[in-house]
Structure 1
Amino acid sequence: MHYRRFGKTHLHLSVFSLGTMRYLASAETARQTVERAIALGINHIETARGYGNSEIFLGKALAGLRREERAKREDLIITTKLPPTIDADAMARGIDESLARLGLDYIDCLAIHGVNTAEHLAMLTVERGCMAAVRAAIADGRVRWVGFSTHGPLDVILGAIATDQFQFVNLHYNWLFQRNAAAVELAHQKDMGVFIISPADKGGLLYTPPERLDTLCHPQSPLHLGYRWLLSDPRITTLSLGAARPEELDWPLEMADQTHPLTDTEVEILERLRSHQSAVLGTDQCNQCYACLPCPEDIHIPEVLRLRNLAVAYDMTQYGTYRYGMFENAGHWFPGRRGDRCTDCGDCLPRCPEALDIPTLLRDAHRRLGGSPRRRLWG
């Protein structure tokens, strides 16, 4: 296992972190998963108040490890997350409740969970809002460091980083979704730790890739390439590994020492993928400039067309259907409406530098990906 400095916290985190949103089958499964993660060298475990019983299960697992003298508290880095609020007292209670659920005297890293909208961003500067309670908790030792997690648009992420209130950020960024590159760079410039959310699952369902994508990535696997693309970037501290069972840790953690720069073969594979996508999509390729927004019908045009790009170019229809089904079902965690909401108003057409026939492509994306609606695992 390799470890990297988590920005100005000066903590050294394993390059893979155990995310605990999915290990909720039972307290026993959670215990086994935590124990296996620690045995394999993971020293950072991330949970959230919004993840069902996750904090409680993690607290029980940590207590057992301490009793058995199999893990020292000072050797583990625990992150939990609480939602933004304008009520300092509510945040203070939330911190104390999380400490009780986790069975800890202090939280290493507290993240403001889901800074996803301009309204959430505004909450960070309210005089007696959530950040006042966080600062008080840092002053009395209940919290060591504070950051934020986000599924929001790039301007909101950049705005939160620019407040200079945070020591780390949790965000989406991977080889199939590079929209947040500017946020990664700004966080790096400000010496913030960078935690990448769900690069294998929400990053492309890379554990179960379609045959075409698998073939294009040969002699590597899509999962290997996805992890390597991130691990090779020294600005990135750690990647979330959301194992539901202990055995799901083994294969990814075989890569925990592969933090070297991309090899010539890996660079060639990435170029092959880019060339293939361009050739297959031709003049229908959306290049993700976001100039088409805002849409009068609140359709998230770039994301709809990104999912279409992946489905057409790489046969990533399963992934596209999975993510597309979140539209209109996950609130600010996955904002925007489906492609079939297009009214042919034409507002987006003159703003597209590629002169794409956006209404037609939106309808095609809906035809390809408009399966059953999905809700977020923890709403």
Structure 2
Amino acid sequence: MKKQRSIIMAGMLDVVLISSHLLYPLIFFASASVDPDNTYFSAAADIVIRHENQKCPKRRFSTFDLSNVSCDNGSIVAVATDFLAKFCPDLLEILARNDDRDRLIKIGRTVNSSLRYCEEVSSRETEGVSPPRSNGTEGEEIGNEVEADGALRRLVKECQMLAKILTKPTKVPTTRFGRTEIDMPIVNVGCMRFQQSWNRGGGVPVKSADQLAKDCQSNVVDILKHAINCGVTHIETAQMYGCSELQIGLALKQLFDEGFCRRDDLIIQTKGAVGSGTTKTSYKSSILEQLHGLGLEYVDLFAVHGLNTQDTYDLLFEQGEGNNLIEALQELRAEGRVKNVGFSTHGPAHVIKKAIETDSFDYVNLHYHFMGGGYTSAGDGDHTFEGNQENVRLARERDMGLFIISPFDKGGRLYAPSHLLRHLTLPQMEPLEYGCMWLWHHHDHAGFGRVHTIGVGAARPSDLDQAVIAAISSETQESKQSFGVVLKRIEERKRQILGEKWTKNWHLGLPNYSQCVFGGFQIGNIVWLFNCVQVYGVLDFAKERYATLLLNASNWDMKKTWKENVFSSPAFAWMPGTCYDENHDYSEELKDVPEENKLRVLEAMKFVHQWCSPENHRSNFEEKKQEDIDVPLEWQQAYDMRPNVAWPERS
């Protein structure tokens, strides 16, 4: 059996093109050889072997490249179908009845990834190469098959919970959203992944209902229905999300007309940006147009979208009484059109702190995740806090609602984790659940800053599943204990890989673009990416983030001032900074960095530039011999929970 498994598992992520009649076969396992100690592992391996041995055409696919995500997933679906037939037939029946291919693909990819990594590690161990081990719940080392079995056991448990949720939905927990007094679900549905178009660049913008594809709008309705059924009643969108507001408005009208829910059942948030030409009158008018597009008399939450720079802050607060844009929001709140005012930000930590300290906002949407202090603000901070840690503490001290943006994407691409990250969190939980638990229990492990809610950017109903399941079980003793085990394991790995001092002090004195007048270098952010790759193996995530810095650097004009460069591109304030320049002397930029850190900072920047520059981009599954692939196995992508290309990326 083990020899046969070895033959097929090196190509575990091959996609076999099989006919659609195999979508929901009920397979019986009379001949399955099951190891009583590793029941799930052995049974899953037998299932995969059966399908890999079919004589069908094969093709490779890379989940790092979105254009290939939509490739045929026939064998993945077949594996998931057989797996559910044995371990969770109730869910299989529900998915078959609803022709739900998305969830089958996700289940199949999870099964495949667990087995593939186990086999790859086993084959390397026979050659004397061993990756880092995860620890069991009692601290002992565990074998590869035991870890894979634990992952599959957990998958079965999630499938059983999902079957119950889809049959009789269970509501996620809620919490007081700071001084807004809103009873806020700890998960919300972010609405920037399901709209038909971004309405940017070329093409005809989508401005009316008759331009919408029926399938796209039906998907929006299905997402909202699934969310509301699960108690995820906070719906968050923005004017900048293309035709998102239009589609939400139409979907809400349908739900209200059908009696599916009432307006009072929902918490609606939208956001609107300001610019150099925005006046108090025009901003107020624009917000009222947004409400009209949503078909609503009021919104529960309205956020200034992109309070990212000092210039935006000045537009809100420093134009003089009668002209400050914040007054438009105060007037709308007094009129009952906006119930609570907040701000959303991708900005540097000091700008965010300044906005919080005005006491003009009831809540804040910011980036803050277990991999670091918060995406674009990572690397900012003083001797006590790094990134947005100080802002989390400060916001909670002022009783503001705390909404965490993009924990699964900007927080590490947790829907497509590396093998190493998954190895670190298993068998207790998948990386996405760990990311949730780290935030929901932040006040327990960090000692400050209760996080109220986290955003799930849903492109399809199934994108809500893992977060909803995690939320429902988040306060159970089992989940808390599992989280504690993984937290301890990851903290220990940080100390082992980075060292105690570097783990605590790596950010000291590091500037980001707002302090680098000469070239706008995002130094703190780059060093943060180095830490992320070293500790978690998230190379694809680092490449994705670094690509923006490379683009910004290519557009940077040394003949222009810092401010002219920063504001020459509207996107710069959202994804700021430039990449490492190997020809630049960084002595001036690193003058405040402790002497013992300077060499390592430079080495970290060089490392990120080497691995994340375009010439180093590689598909995880290129047609080449395994020994020729220079990306370590642990850094390669384990799976991708995007079963198809999201609507806004299709145009």
User: What TM-score results when the alignment is normalised by the length of structure 2?
Assistant: 0.55
Q: CA deviation at 1:341?
A: 6.0
Higher helix share: 2
Q: CA deviation at 1:163?
A: 0.7
> Is residue 225 of structure 2 the alignment partner of residue 7 of structure 1?
no
1:356-375, aligned counterparts within 5 Å? 356-357=598-599, 358-371=601-614
Q: CA deviation at 1:342?
A: 5.7
For residue 347 of structure 1, what is the aligned residue in structure 2?
Answer: 588
Greater displacement, 139-148 / 328-337? 328-337
Per-residue CA distance 1:179-211 (angstroms, 9 max, x = gap): 211111111111110000010111001112111
1:14-25, aligned counterparts within 5 Å? 14-25=185-196
Q: Where in structure 2 are there 5+ consecutive unaligned residues?
A: 1-171, 197-215, 374-386, 444-449, 553-570, 616-647
Per-residue CA distance 1:269-298 (angstroms, 9 max, x = gap): 223223323333459957442512233422
Structure of larger gyration radius: 2
For residue 165 of structure 1, what is the aligned residue in structure 2?
Answer: 360
Q: Is the 8 A contact 1:16 1:241 kept in 2?
A: yes
Greater displacement, 104-113 / 232-241? 232-241
Q: Residue 91 of structure 1: SS of its match in structure 2?
A: helix
Per-residue CA distance 1:199-249 (angstroms, 9 max, x = gap): 011100111211111111122221111100111236211100101011211
Cα root mean square deviation, aligned: 2.3
> Is residue 472 of structure 2 the alignment partner of residue 254 of structure 1?
no
Per-residue CA distance 1:102-123 (angstroms, 9 max, x = gap): 0001111110000001111112
1:225-374, aligned counterparts within 5 Å? 225-233=434-442, 235-260=450-475, 263-281=480-498, 287-293=505-511, 294-295=515-516, 296-327=518-549, 328-329=551-552, 330-340=571-581, 343-353=584-594, 354-357=596-599, 358-371=601-614
Q: CA deviation at 1:150?
A: 0.6
Evaluate the alpha carbon distance shift between residue 263 and residue 35 of structure 1 in structure 2; reply closer, same or farther with a 3 A threshold: closer
Q: Is the 8 A contact 2:439 2:451 kept in 1?
A: yes
Percentage identity across aligned positions? Answer: 35
Greater displacement, 307-316 / 188-197? 307-316
Evaluate the alpha carbon distance shift between residue 156 and residue 258 of structure 1 in structure 2; reply closer, same or farther with a 3 A threshold: farther
Q: Which whole-Å CA distance do the structure 1 matches of 2:178 and 2:453 have between them?
A: 11
Q: Is the 8 A contact 2:432 2:466 kept in 1?
A: no
Q: CA deviation at 1:339?
A: 1.4
Q: Residue 180 of structure 2: SS of its match in structure 1?
A: coil
Q: Is the 8 A contact 2:506 2:597 kept in 1?
A: no
Per-residue CA distance 1:57-113 (angstroms, 9 max, x = gap): 110110000000111001101000001345101111111110111000111111000
Among 285, 291, 310, the residue aligned to 1:99: 291
Higher strand share: 1
1:214-233, aligned counterparts within 5 Å? 214-219=422-427, 220-233=429-442
Q: CA deviation at 1:355?
A: 2.2
Which amino acid in 2 is paired with 1:292? L
For residue 640 of structure 2, what is the aligned residue in structure 1?
Answer: none
Evaluate the alpha carbon distance shift between residue 241 and residue 67 of structure 1 in structure 2; reply closer, same or farther with a 3 A threshold: same
Q: Which whole-Å CA distance do the structure 1 matches of 2:283 and 2:519 have between them?
A: 35
Q: Residue 403 of structure 2: SS of its match in structure 1?
A: strand
> Is residue 274 of structure 2 the alignment partner of residue 84 of structure 1?
yes
Evaluate the alpha carbon distance shift between residue 90 and residue 362 of structure 1 in structure 2; reply closer, same or farther with a 3 A threshold: same
For residue 409 of structure 2, what is the aligned residue in structure 1?
Answer: 201
Q: CA deviation at 1:265?
A: 4.2
> Is residue 261 of structure 2 the alignment partner of residue 57 of structure 1?
no
Q: CA deviation at 1:52?
A: 0.3
Q: Which whole-Å CA distance do the structure 2 matches of 1:18 and 1:276 have between them?
A: 33
Evaluate the alpha carbon distance shift between residue 326 and residue 74 of structure 1 in structure 2; reply closer, same or farther with a 3 A threshold: same
Which amino acid in 2 is paired with 1:291? G
Q: Which whole-Å CA distance do the structure 1 matches of 2:187 and 2:221 have between them?
A: 18
Evaluate the alpha carbon distance shift between residue 74 and residue 359 of structure 1 in structure 2; reply closer, same or farther with a 3 A threshold: same
Q: Where in structure 1 are there 5+ consecutive unaligned residues?
A: none
User: What TM-score results when the alignment is normalised by the length of structure 1?
Assistant: 0.93
Q: Which whole-Å CA distance do the structure 1 matches of 2:592 and 2:390 have between them?
A: 22
Greater displacement, 15-24 / 286-295? 286-295
Greater displacement, 288-297 / 59-68? 288-297
4+ aligned runs moved over 6 Å, structure 1: none
Q: Which whole-Å CA distance do the structure 1 matches of 2:431 and 2:258 have between them?
A: 39
Among 104, 107, 111, the residue aligned to 2:303: 111
Aligned residues: 375
> Is residue 352 of structure 2 the alignment partner of residue 152 of structure 1?
no
Q: Which whole-Å CA distance do the structure 2 matches of 1:323 and 1:344 have between them?
A: 23
Q: Residue 4 of structure 1: SS of its match in structure 2?
A: strand
Greater displacement, 276-285 / 191-200? 276-285
Q: Is the 8 A contact 1:349 1:355 kept in 2?
A: no
Q: Is the 8 A contact 2:192 2:241 kept in 1?
A: yes
